[in-house]
Amino acid sequence: MALIAFFGPAGAGHINPTLGLVTELVRRGHRVIYCAPREYADRILETGAEHHPTVSTWKAHDQAQQVPQMHGKELVRAMRLLLEETKAILPVAAQVERPDLVVHDGTLAWWGRILAQRWQVPSVETWPNFVSNAEWSMAKNYTTINPFSPRFLLQTARIARFLRSEGVTSIGRFFNGDEATSRLVLLPRAFQYEGDTFGGTFQFVGPMLTERSFQADWQPTASPVTLIALGTAYNARPEFYRMVLESAADRPGQIVMAIGDVDRELLGPVPPNVEIHRQVPQLAVLRHAQAFVTHAGMGSTMESLSHSVPMVALPQMAEQRANADRIVDLGLGRALDPEVLTAEALWEAVDGVMHDPGIRDRLAWMRGEIAESGGAASAADTVENLLPSGDPKPE
């Protein structure tokens, strides 16, 4: 039995996609400690792993800006927040018993990268979003970065000074994640832009979903079911929810909508065919849904594709726009601009994706690509193959 330490940041879109791998490693007899914010304890403990709690500094910031985006105009602010987060979490994460291998979020959990180097153990990075190389990157295709900006240069110098104090000698390799022994990309290669150009340490294993019994079960009362959810970080859109409620009364079937922390009293009357939640048990609803109106976060996108549910994407930031464009490119749904959205356009798109045989065919194709990616079993094989020779795999 090996000891494997997972390190995750604040953000369901970064924690949830890893839970299938944790579950599989525990099933194979390994001991797993997952170091992550307290609010994810239930879902982590459900996998059979131990939970080592952290407290995110991001909670002190505006909820709509909680999870930093590591590209474009957000980059300098995100770098500052992530340095602050790393300094706060690193001492707590370092209290974890020295593991045989580290698994950490490649986008945000810099502390996992630092500790793997400190402990001199193999590291596996998990990437729940598009990855970049010389052929395709978010910076090249969806955002612009001025590398000569004084603010950017100053923040880079601050991060470099901190990393050197932690024994990191190659700042460029650290930022790129080049020290990782393997990088698990949690989407199928067919969904990645220029997917065939990624080799080396990149392994596309696809989504790794779990049962999520920490969430309530859900059963439909009418058909068709339309799920509407804008994620956990950028969901403060009362005007959108109000528009849905004002236009939904004559819609067939059942509409299930998540509104986050928006005050229900601000939204007006709720028609009898609409069910409102703070958060929905998303996988349970997707098992019955015929359409998903989504912010197009990658976690939600993969969950929808795993259930062959067509999407109407309402992207709200650069990464989501990239996801939404890929959904359209591959014929898996439609995308709309949430800033100029009307009720008529929304419901027309929902009806369109529900009844389009071409989209159904493409969803079946993508579900096959997901199955061929290997999921949690393939990812667990990779992790086990990287364990030191003194830690034999369990029978």
Domain contains 354:
yes
Domain contains 215:
no
Answer yes or no: do 130 and 270 share one domain: no
Domain count, the chain: 2
Domain contains 213:
no
Answer yes or no: do 136 and 231 share one domain: no
CATH number at residue 335: 3.40.50.2000
What the block records as the tokens of 322 is 């990239």
d(CA 359, CA 381): 33
Cis peptide before 188 (omega within 30 of 0): no
Answer yes or no: do 117 and 136 share one domain: yes
Of the pLDDT bands very low, low, confident and very high (cuts 50, 70, 90), residue 140 is confident
- What's the domain range around 146? 3-206+374-385
274 near 243, Cβ under 8 Å? no
What the block records as the tokens of 39 is 């609010």
Domain contains 94:
yes
Answer yes or no: do 165 and 311 share one domain: no
Query: What is the reported pLDDT for 144?
Result: 72
Query: What is the reported pLDDT for 147?
Result: 75
Question: Could you read off the pLDDT of 146-187 as tens digits, one per residue?
Answer: 778 888 889 889 999 999 999 998 888 888 888 899 999 999
Answer yes or no: do 50 and 173 share one domain: yes
Domain contains 121:
yes
Of the pLDDT bands very low, low, confident and very high (cuts 50, 70, 90), residue 214 is low
Answer yes or no: do 56 and 114 share one domain: yes
Domain contains 218:
no
Query: What is the reported pLDDT for 179?
Result: 86
Query: What is the reported pLDDT for 72?
Result: 59
Query: What is the reported pLDDT for 176?
Result: 81
Answer yes or no: do 201 and 254 share one domain: no
Q: Does 364 or 280 have the greater pLDDT score?
A: 364
Domain contains 390:
no
Domain contains 214:
no
Of the pLDDT bands very low, low, confident and very high (cuts 50, 70, 90), residue 390 is low
- At residue 231, does pLDDT exceed 90? no
Answer yes or no: do 64 and 156 share one domain: yes
H/E segment holding residue 394? none
Answer yes or no: do 162 and 233 share one domain: no
Answer yes or no: do 366 and 378 share one domain: no
Classify residue 136 as exposed, middle or buried by CB count within 10 Å of its CB (0-12, 13-18, 19+).
middle
Question: Could you read off the pLDDT of 284-319 as tens digits, one per residue?
Answer: 999 999 999 999 999 999 999 999 999 999 998 889
Mean pLDDT within 355-380: 98
CA triplet 82, 338, 226: central angle to 5 degrees?
100
Answer yes or no: do 202 and 100 share one domain: yes
Question: What is the secondary structure of 103-156 as a DSSP string?
Answer: EEETTT-HHHHHHHHHHT--EEEEE-S----SS--HHHHT----TT-HHHHHHH
Question: Could you read off the pLDDT of 320-356 as tens digits, one per residue?
Answer: 999 999 999 999 999 999 999 999 999 999 999 999 9
Question: Could you read off the pLDDT of 56-103 as tens digits, one per residue?
Answer: 998 665 544 455 555 556 778 888 899 999 999 999 999 999 999 999
Answer yes or no: do 229 and 146 share one domain: no
